[in-house]
Structure 1
Amino acid sequence: MRHAPLSNVSLYVEVTTMSTTSQSHNLPVAPGAPMPHRKVIRSWVIPLSKRSTAIALLLSVIDFALFGASLAAIVWAPWLLAKIALGVVNGFIIGRLFILGHDACHQAFTPNRKLNTWLGRLLFMPSLTPYSLWAVGHNVVHHGYTNLKGFDFVWQPRSLEEFNALPRWRQRLERIYRSGFGPGLYYMIDMWWKRMYFPSKKQMPTRRAEFMWDGALVTAVAAVWVGGLAWAAQSTGQSFWTLLVTGFVIPLLFWKAMIGFVVYVHHTHTSVAWYDDKVTWAAAQPFVSTTVHLTFGRFWGALLHHIMEHTAHHVDMSVPLYRLKQAQKKLETMLPGRIVIQRFSWRWYFDTARRCKLYDFKRLCWTDYRGRPTSQPLPLPEMSKSMAEA
């Protein structure tokens, strides 16, 4: 009996293996099976990363029109309560514009890099967000090291020992931040003021000219905004202070509360772990395991430009927001039971705020301010041989 040459047999085995692997990569991952490589997971959503300049410009024009219309309505509304309500609406629209700018900053909004950069700066103006500093803190640090202590500073929890070592005033501030009522204050102080608006050398050791120019740009935008309200007050015979509060202060405060809330719920959950060891963190597939898909009612996803489909965004930042819903659905189909999906309710939110105060990085569980566990310890991720040796 003649046998096929060894080289042909090897080739057949290799091709068969590749074919089988390819087929398995297109099937949902079974419970208990190893998590696929990130490249495999990204391959599921890459077909959804096509960007459209027309869609991006249309969304930008609509939201800027809403922003301008709501500001005009604040000026012309005859009743104080109406002005206050419209100020909240304006703050929400600022959030929508920011979400569009966030996509542009990720180069996920249009196919053109320069257009993304300039659109991003423009879309960030109403929220007074310096574009280049947001890009460093968010794109590089947060996405590069999600939920890794010492790197990702966004809502990074403290251990019991770290909390007890804080001065009394800072302990009180931390309690306010994590009370459920403090997301806006947290974002305003610890993220925007310290790290984005002319940050100190301690907060941002790298000094770039564009950091200063972007800080000057948003300062000029704020000055023009306030100046416009002063002109409107004089032209219509209204109180400048009333228009300043309802047309500038309330929108910005609501916006900061909105973004503080969003970044909190994206990565704070009793089923989401934080890590202080880079090897363990890498083994946990953090782009999937450290994000939460928070679900709302029927229309809220679209109103928030689908920013809550957050797992898909962390798996592949190039997927535009107008395709995130499809990408999230694909991931949840392919990784059943692996993604944290949480139906939003205020009861859940405040229960999370009550339980997620400090973190035990050894047991991978949340604790109260006395170090008592308030969540079930999460299992340590399985490390490959190469990771363990490293």
Structure 2
Amino acid sequence: MTATDSTPTLEPAAPEAPARGSLKPVLDVIPPEAYENPTWKGLAYLARDLVLYALVVAGLILVDNPIAVVALWVLSGLVISGLFVIAHDAAHGALFASKRMNRVVGTIAMLPAWHVYEGWVLGHNRIHHAYTVREGYDFVWHPYTPEQYAAMSPLGRLRHRIEWSWLGAGAYYLREVWWHKMIVGAPPKRWAAAVRRDRILVWSFVALATLALGALGWAMDGTVVGAVWMVVKVLVVPFLAFTYVIATFVHVHHIQPDIRWYRRREWTKFKGQMEGTTVLRARFGLNFFFHWIMVHVPHHVDMRIPMYNLELATAAIDEAFPGTVHDEPLRFRDFVANTRKCRLYDFDEGRWFTYRQAREHLAAAPPTQAEQPTSAGLATAPGA
């Protein structure tokens, strides 16, 4: 406003509801066609991925060349991940209008990943999506603070260093998500029967596949080693390859220097679902396997949007809320860089630390916040 003009220049006001934390203004801009999910389309994706899975299994059974086997293992991780994304969409009720069809397809498509459908619905839909990047609630890649890391045993710190590295991400997912949440975790009483039933289905699939592959390996090789190798080659390694792929997916969705995790009192739905995840554009035809799951912001805004409409929803959200959506190409080197920068987290400062930065942070903190045993614990750890 100039000295000769008393009329103030009005800047466009930000939507009031997001300032208070509501997602309603975001939901209002998503076009109705983004929710369209014809049955034939979901079944087509399922059929295609099941055929791919069958071809990969057949290849692993018939091929012995080491280079070809390794290539098939990589492909198996991608193919099982594609099936899992289909199951993930079904678990959200986005793939089909029919709840029963979602459940049947989701259960089947999760079997190659050894995942428990109802256990996934409980942990993923009702906890991770409901409280994304909220301290003490969202259990997936929930960060440790410098103080918590310093209080760990040497073995605990070593495990953290492995699991929060780019190479050890699969180990984190295998232990923290699959084992603790899918396999041995005790669900609430009202979910216990459904989770137990689906666990029986998963272990029945694994047991029958093990017996069939073991018998086939024995018939083809005539030795116990041949039988065991067939099981490992066709069933176990593809599962482990999948766990690494899914671990990297979840990490890049919610862990990077610009993504903040919030104290319980500071968290809002808008912060969690619009600012607590990313849109990463898969290139080189990778959406053939990824099914647009890297376009993650609209998926968190509304789980009912089917995977193949996420880009449509993103365009509408980005137009209405420019500068809010974190949108960039998907690059493996960015995942590696994020694992090096984002090791520990200070919820008060909203800041990620490397191990070295965390040690320096504790050393500079007042004595009441960083007692001698705590800072000494970090000092014994190698620098990042």
Instruction: Return the TM-score normalized by structure 1.
Output: 0.83
Deviates more, 1:320-329 or 1:363-372: 363-372
Equivalent residue for 1:167, pick from 153, 158, 162: 153
Deviation at 1:123, TM superposition (A): 0.8
Matched, 1:328 2:314: yes
Tell whether the 8 Å contact from 1:198 to 1:215 is kept in structure 2 after alignment. no
Matched, 1:242 2:226: no
Tell whether the 8 Å contact from 2:79 to 2:289 is kept in structure 1 after alignment. no
Counterpart in 2 of 1:69? Answer: 55
Equivalent residue for 1:292, pick from 272, 278, 291: 278
Secondary structure in 2 aligned to 1:129? coil
Distance in 2 of aligned mates of 1:270 and 1:35: 26
1:338–1:300: structure 2 CA closer, same or farther, 3 Å change rule?
same
Q: Which amino acid aligns with 1:275?
A: Y
Secondary structure in 2 aligned to 1:342? strand
Aligned length: 341
Secondary structure in 1 aligned to 2:183? coil
Deviates more, 1:59-68 or 1:205-214: 205-214
1:92–1:31: structure 2 CA closer, same or farther, 3 Å change rule?
farther
Q: Which amino acid aligns with 1:315?
A: V
1:340–1:101: structure 2 CA closer, same or farther, 3 Å change rule?
same
Q: Which amino acid aligns with 1:128?
A: W
Deviations 1:59-105 (A, max 9, x none): 11111111111101111124233223212212211111000000000
Tell whether the 8 Å contact from 2:17 to 2:25 is kept in structure 1 after alignment. no
Deviation at 1:351, TM superposition (A): 1.9
- Determine what percentage of the aligned residue pairs are the same residue: 28
1:94–1:261: structure 2 CA closer, same or farther, 3 Å change rule?
same
Output aligned runs, 1:37-76, within 5 Å: 37-47=22-32, 48-76=34-62
Tell whether the 8 Å contact from 2:116 to 2:182 is kept in structure 1 after alignment. yes
Deviates more, 1:336-345 or 1:267-276: 336-345
Tell whether the 8 Å contact from 1:84 to 1:250 is kept in structure 2 after alignment. no
Counterpart in 1 of 2:199? Answer: 215
Distance in 2 of aligned mates of 1:161 and 1:256: 29
Tell whether the 8 Å contact from 2:23 to 2:270 is kept in structure 1 after alignment. no
Counterpart in 1 of 2:297? Answer: 311
Q: Which amino acid aligns with 1:235?
A: A
Distance in 1 of aligned mates of 2:17 and 2:164: 32
1:302–1:87: structure 2 CA closer, same or farther, 3 Å change rule?
closer
| Unaligned runs of at least 5 residues, structure 1 | 1-28, 374-390
Instruction: Return the TM-score normalized by structure 2.
Output: 0.84
Q: Which amino acid aligns with 2:218?
A: Q
Cα RMSD over matched residues?
2.0
Distance in 1 of aligned mates of 2:147 and 2:89: 38
| Unaligned runs of at least 5 residues, structure 2 | 1-10, 362-384
Tell whether the 8 Å contact from 1:45 to 1:316 is kept in structure 2 after alignment. no
Tell whether the 8 Å contact from 1:198 to 1:212 is kept in structure 2 after alignment. no
Deviation at 1:245, TM superposition (A): 2.3
Counterpart in 2 of 1:253? Answer: 240
Tell whether the 8 Å contact from 1:31 to 1:337 is kept in structure 2 after alignment. no
Counterpart in 2 of 1:364? Answer: 350
Deviations 1:209-235 (A, max 9, x none): 111111111111111111221232233
Tell whether the 8 Å contact from 1:159 to 1:359 is kept in structure 2 after alignment. yes
Output aligned runs, 1:30-179, within 5 Å: 36=18, 37-47=22-32, 48-179=34-165
Matched, 1:274 2:258: no
Distance in 1 of aligned mates of 2:92 and 2:80: 18
